[in-house]
Structures are given as C-alpha cells and as structure tokens.
Structure 1
Amino acid sequence: MKAEERSNWVRHAAGTENRFEACFTGHAYEPHRHDTYTIALTLQGVQSFDYRGNACHSTPGNALILHPDELHDGRAGTDAAFRYRAIGIDPCLIQNILGGAALPFVDGAISSDPGILGAAHALLGDLEHPLERLEHQDALYHLAVSLSRVAGEKRGRRIGNCAAATRARDYIDACLDQDVSLEMLEHVSGFDRWQLSRDFRSLYGTSPHRYLVMRRLDRARGLILAGAPLSDAALACHFSDQSHFTRHFRKAYGVTPMRWVHLVRSSSAQTFYRGRSAAS
C-alpha cells in the first residue's frame, strides 16, 4: 500500500450512531455542508479548516462544533497528518432535549469547554463497541445542555409548531423516491407552507429540500458500499443521473463518491457503513 493510502482513511465505528475516525495528510475535504451537528475531537496533528469566514486550527485536546448547514472544508495544518474522531448528531435530538427552543449556535468552531469536551469524550471515547442506548442518550443530554449554556443569549426564538415540522419530516422520510413540494408538506402537516419552512429550519438546522437530498445520499452511500455501481445508486435514490448525484455528494461531503469509497476501504480495520443515527 502506498504511503498516501496508509495516512488517508476513514474508519466507521461499531453501532448505529454515525461515529467515525479519520486520518489525512494535506488537503482532505472541499467546502461542503452537513445537515447535522458535527462534534469532533482532534487526536493528532493540526486539524485546519475554514468556517464562517475564519481559518480555524484545532490541536489535540480541543473539541470542534460545526453547526448544521454551515460551509466548511478540511486540511492538515502542517506537513504531518492529522487524525480526529467525529459524530454527526441529528439536530432535532438537541432541540427535543432543550424543550422547544431553537438550535443553540456556538460562535467559533473550537472549544475547550469542560461540558462539551466531557460529552464529546463520552460519545467518541470508544469506537470499538456500540454505545448503549442510555449511554448515548445521557451523553446527548449533557451535550445539549452544554451547547445551550455556551451559546447563551444567541440560542434563538422558540419554534412555533414542532408537531407540524415533525409530520413534514416524517413524510419526507417516507417519500425519498418521490417528488416533494411545499404544497405537499403543507397538506400533510396541516400548517402554512412558509411558516412550516421557517420552523423546519429552526428545528432541523436545514431546509426541507436539503434534508430530502441528504437522506437520499445516506441511502446511496449504503448502496455503493454494498457494491452497486454509481449510476445504479444514483437512479435508485432519485437523482437524475450520475453527474447529478456526484454534484450533490461533493457538496454534502467535500469529496467525490469514488474518493469517499476509497477512504473507507483504505482503513485496515473498517466496519461497514450503517448510515445515519436512529433517533434516540
């Protein structure tokens, strides 16, 4: 195996939570956005990235908090490799814990706050074994409370109709292979489409369309790792063709589908990809 392949890999953890460890030299990711909170711990080297107009540099001992739908990239801050662990967290889990408040927004992206670090270590300390359900829920609670405390007055307004936004999301989850419109979401949720769109963003950290695309990409990643050709995975997940799929994939993850597959399969201790975390 080439030296570059040995130092560039992604290893997914045991369990259903979207947890992973990765190692990179040089350039890692193009600018992209997630529809989850990304909570990470830098383990080795300098983890550098651009976020909200600032160049950020994290070293071992720091936690990273990337808010849903915020553009960022990734690279090594020195000639040496950087290694980190991360988890993607459905924003509605954080919002549900906070009891109806909109998502907390933490300025910057690097934190040494003891509460955030403690929750991150609880979620990411052991990737060899699945988290017990109560263990996962307890760590999420401490994370949500810590994020809210650090965000302070910038937590935002309360959401007008959580139930309607939840019905809209459930409908999208059930209709990934169909065309979806705000008119349809208004009908199934029983709530004004434009207010619903605003509440959906506050509850889930992203727009209804972005949420739909990300769920289709989740499904496509599972198909690709199971051996499906890119063109077949694209069509099966309601993308018009392979180039349309690749364009959305790169916007979401910062790498092409083939680059992502290579990174996952370069891991010497790979566990299979299980997709997005189930709601707890």
Structure 2
Amino acid sequence: MAPRTDWVVHSGHSSRVERIEAFFGGHGYDPHRHDTYAIGRTLSGVQSFLYRKSLRHSLPGGTMVLHPDELHDGMAGTEEGFHYRMIYIEPVLIQQILGGQPLPFIKGGLSTDPRLYRANETFMQAMDCPLEPLQEQDALFDLAQALQAVSGHPKGRRSFDYQAAERAREYIHDCQGGQVSMDELERVSGRERWSLSRDFRALYGTSPYRYVTQRRLALCRQLLRSGFTLVDAALAAGFFDQSHMTRHFVQCYGLSPSRWLKMQG
C-alpha cells in the first residue's frame, strides 16, 4: 500500500485560538516545546508521543492536554497513521478567566474525563466551521473551568503577583521581537527579577526568555506565510541569522521551517 500524504489544515477564520486538523502516516514531529496549551483529540488511529519521559498513546474518545513548555514529539502508533484536531491556547487566555492561579496541569497529558471532552467540543468542530466571538469566549470559559476541575488544586499554593507578571508579558509584546533584558522586565513589572521569573513560569507556563523567543517565532511564521524568504524572516523577527531561527523553530514546532511551509493548507 502506498503511504498516505501527511497534511495539516489551519482554520481560515479569525480567532483568538489557533485550530488545526492534520494527518500523519508515520513520523510527525521531532521533540519540541511551545508556550501554549496543545489541547485536542485523536479522530482515528493511534497518536503516540513521548511526554514527561513516558510514551503515551492517544485514542479516539479521549482528550490530549499538553502543558506549555513540556517537551513532546508525535508519531503514528500503527501503520494506519493518525488523524487529529488540535487547538493551541495561550496561557494568558486561561489566566484572564482564572485570575492569576497556577496553570492547571493534566497528569500524563491524556484524560478520559467527560468534563474535558464536553468542554472542548466547540473547538473540535471541522476547520470550515467558524466560531462567533461570543461563542469562542464561552467555550474558553468552559474549557478553563474544566481544566481546573480535572487537574485539582495543587498542594502548598502560594500567592503570585499576577499584575506584575502581566506587565512584563505586555512589555515583551510591545517590543515586537526586539531584545529584552531582565533589567527591563524588573523595571516595568515593579517586581524583583527572581520572584518575577518564578511567577511568570507558574502563571504562563514558560520562562520570560522562551516567551520572547516564541513571539519571534510567531512573527516568523506570519512573515513566511506572506512570502518572506527564510533568511529575511529570521532577520526581521530578531534572530541572528537563518540557522539561529531554524534551530529555535525546530525546538518549538518539531518541524523545519521549510517542511512546515510545505504542509500549510
């Protein structure tokens, strides 16, 4: 039997949440990490991935919840390949609902809890189904509440300076890929740097430096889609050169920039 072609389709509708549908016949992604939640479901086949030092297998009927900044890959668990839908949710959207609590963590990256499955239903529609803004907002609220309920409350909770961390995050966005130092983040947040770093990780799931890198990569993807060459996109997004950008791109998305471009639907 001839191998089926790998493909990825993005929802073409404007949204605060990135939605994709994809099929891979074998190897999908190299080990990588990103600064968003990756939440979705396997529609057919067995979707296997290494996550927190163990091999996991996602089957139809369950929910995948990959935490921000957790290393993972992706591959087919059988010769049939795997078909899935996934959404990528920035932690700030969850924080706007939970109001400065530690990000919910789903142990093992897989859940059979029906509350999560139901809460994710709106986002799991076909890519050609647009979401109205209010519908998306309601779905985000339901999903944040389900994540918190299923994850439980962490032991030994301490207080976090959510407003200071948010000032630092907004400053990073304002810099649009430019160089950012901890001195600057300390100044704009009004928070001592080590406390800020701890709070940032707990609230947004990644370090300030990796968050800056992710913003540059997001700009890179936007530029590549608009026709920029790899080297021009890399320089425009604040990387030293194309190889610097490519190294971070693979670490973030598990694909080279050229392969990622070829798979865009």
TM-score by length of 1: 0.90
- CA offsets 1:68-89 (integer angstroms, 9 cap, x no match): 0000000000011201000001
Partner of 1:267: none
Partner of 1:9: 7
Distance 1:155 1:210 in 2: 26
Structure 2 residue matching 1:57: 3-state secondary structure = strand
Partner of 1:242: 242
Distance 2:181 2:58 in 1: 40
The worse-fitting range, judged by mean Cα deviation, of 70-79 and 182-191 is 182-191
Contact 2:115/2:146 (8 A) holds in 1: yes
Higher relative contact order (CA 8 A, sep 6+): 1
Structure 2 residue matching 1:130: 3-state secondary structure = coil
Partner of 1:275: none
Partner of 1:74: 74
The one-letter amino acid of 1:116's match is: L
Structure 1: which 5+ runs fail to align? 265-269, 271-280
Question: How far did 1:52 drift?
Answer: 0.6
Query: Taking structure 1 as reference, are residues 155 and 250 closer, same or farther at Cα in structure 2, changes over 3 Å only?
Result: farther
Structure 2: which 5+ runs fail to align? none
The one-letter amino acid of 1:36's match is: T
Map 1:1-280 → 2, pairs under 5 A: 4=3, 7-15=5-13, 16=15, 17-154=17-154, 157-264=157-264, 270=265
- CA offsets 1:13-68 (integer angstroms, 9 cap, x no match): 13223100010011110000010111011011110001011111111111100000
Distance 1:107 1:47 in 2: 17
Question: How far did 1:150 drift?
Answer: 1.3
Question: How far did 1:124 drift?
Answer: 1.7
Distance 1:99 1:178 in 2: 28
Distance 1:70 1:159 in 2: 23
Distance 2:44 2:11 in 1: 18
Structure 1 residue matching 2:86: 3-state secondary structure = strand
Question: How far did 1:260 drift?
Answer: 0.5
Query: Taking structure 1 as reference, are residues 124 and 104 closer, same or farther at Cα in structure 2, changes over 3 Å only?
Result: same
The worse-fitting range, judged by mean Cα deviation, of 23-32 and 103-112 is 103-112
Structure 2 residue matching 1:43: 3-state secondary structure = strand
Stretches of 4+ aligned residues off by more than 3 angstroms: none
The one-letter amino acid of 2:5's match is: S
Question: How far did 1:141 drift?
Answer: 1.4
Query: Taking structure 1 as reference, are residues 156 and 77 closer, same or farther at Cα in structure 2, changes over 3 Å only?
Result: farther
The one-letter amino acid of 1:9's match is: W
Contact 1:104/1:155 (8 A) holds in 2: no
Question: How far did 1:8 drift?
Answer: 0.3
Question: How far did 1:159 drift?
Answer: 4.5
Question: How far did 1:176 drift?
Answer: 2.7
Distance 1:43 1:51 in 2: 20
- CA offsets 1:64-118 (integer angstroms, 9 cap, x no match): 0000000000000001120100000111222232232111111111112111101
Distance 2:170 2:46 in 1: 40
Distance 1:86 1:155 in 2: 30
Distance 2:151 2:57 in 1: 20
The one-letter amino acid of 2:54's match is: N
Distance 1:159 1:263 in 2: 43
Structure 2 residue matching 1:146: 3-state secondary structure = helix
Distance 2:254 2:230 in 1: 17
Structure 1 residue matching 2:31: 3-state secondary structure = strand
Contact 1:10/1:20 (8 A) holds in 2: yes
Distance 2:241 2:99 in 1: 41
Contact 2:176/2:216 (8 A) holds in 1: yes
The one-letter amino acid of 1:210's match is: R
Contact 1:103/1:156 (8 A) holds in 2: no
The worse-fitting range, judged by mean Cα deviation, of 212-221 and 8-17 is 8-17
Contact 1:33/1:69 (8 A) holds in 2: yes
Contact 2:9/2:127 (8 A) holds in 1: no
